Amino acid sequence: MKCEDINKMLAAYLDEEVTPEERGQVEAHLASCQKCREELRTLASTRERLRLVLRAEAARVEPSPQAWERVKQSIESKSSFWEQLGTYASKPLLRAAVPVAVVLIAIGALWSTGVLPGFQSGTAPVTAPGLTAPESADVSKSTLALESQQPVEIISVSGPLPPINPGGPTVEVTLRNVAPEPVVSLAASLELDRPFDFDFGVTSSNPLLPDKIISARLTLIGGGFSDKISYLLVITGTLQSGATFSYTEQVQIMAPPSK
């Protein structure tokens, strides 16, 4: 092997990140090449000094003792009951609708058990706008259900799609609106070594209706990916009621099904 090829492997060799075969090639070359042995020594010295400087530099700083309090305040405000519900419909509407729904569901439960006279049991469940009534009148259960579900779900992230583009692979992101109301803006950002933004063309005049699926394709100019690595996909958007949503999921870019 040439010096140039061996040189490209020296850091990985020092870090013990080469295959046994590569190790053999590097060591065989080093045995007969003074120049590459010198390069290895220089690299090893830089690496050790860097390790030392980074550790000394990091040892100078500590997080603030108030750091947890700030995180706690932030997550408490973000995970409050109303906040979770607010991602599905406008807050003023829900603030009025949910207590009404709870009372109506409770009345429904009383009807069905015959506690309230004059009504038949088995009355159809009552629902509030934008909120599916739970099986029982247990509000905590409905909160948990909302917490775990986002208004838009990821159906697939696939690529590279044909035709082969020399500028970069083409990837398709497919999403479904699982909220009970239309989505009026929608974007997805795929975080490779830099973000790639997918535009779905969803607007208030071209909304994504409930249960509808939408796809967007993008050629990742200068970008590359591996199907063995998971990437972050950030989904952001707005519901018709004005509530906004943003969440991040780990995704793997899968090869499209062959036809």
Q: Which residue ranges make up the site for other proteins (CB under 8 A)? A: 7-12, 15, 17, 42-43, 45-58, 60-64, 67-68, 70-72, 74-76, 78-79, 147-148, 191-194, 224-226, 229-232, 247-250
Least distance to other proteins, CB of residue 224, Å: 7
* Residue 79 or 204 with smaller CB distance to other proteins: 79
Least distance to other proteins, CB of residue 142, Å: 15
Tokens representing 199?
């535009």
* Residue 150 or 170 with smaller CB distance to other proteins: 150
- How many CB atoms sit inside 10 A of residue 89's CB? 24
Please provide the DSSP assignment of 59-121 as one string: HT----TTHHHHHHHHHHHHTSHHHHHHTTS-HHHHHHHHHHHHHHHHHHHHHHHT-STT--S
* Residue 47 or 91 with smaller CB distance to other proteins: 47
Least distance to other proteins, CB of residue 92, Å: 24
Tell me how far CA of residue 68 lies from CA of 78, 83, 150, in angstroms.
Answer: 15, 21, 26
* Residue 88 or 231 with smaller CB distance to other proteins: 231
* Residue 200 or 225 with smaller CB distance to other proteins: 225
Q: Give the torsion sign (CA, 145, 146, 150, 153).
A: positive
- Cross-strand pairs, 216: 173
**What is the distance between the alpha carbons of residues 232 and 228, in angstroms, rounded to a whole number?**
13
Least distance to other proteins, CB of residue 178, Å: 15
Least distance to other proteins, CB of residue 86, Å: 14
Least distance to other proteins, CB of residue 130, Å: 21
CB 41 within 8 A of CB 49: no
Residue 111 sits at the vertex; the CA angle it makes with 129 and 141, to the nearest 5 degrees, is 50
Tokens representing 216?
């967007």
* Residue 84 or 241 with smaller CB distance to other proteins: 84
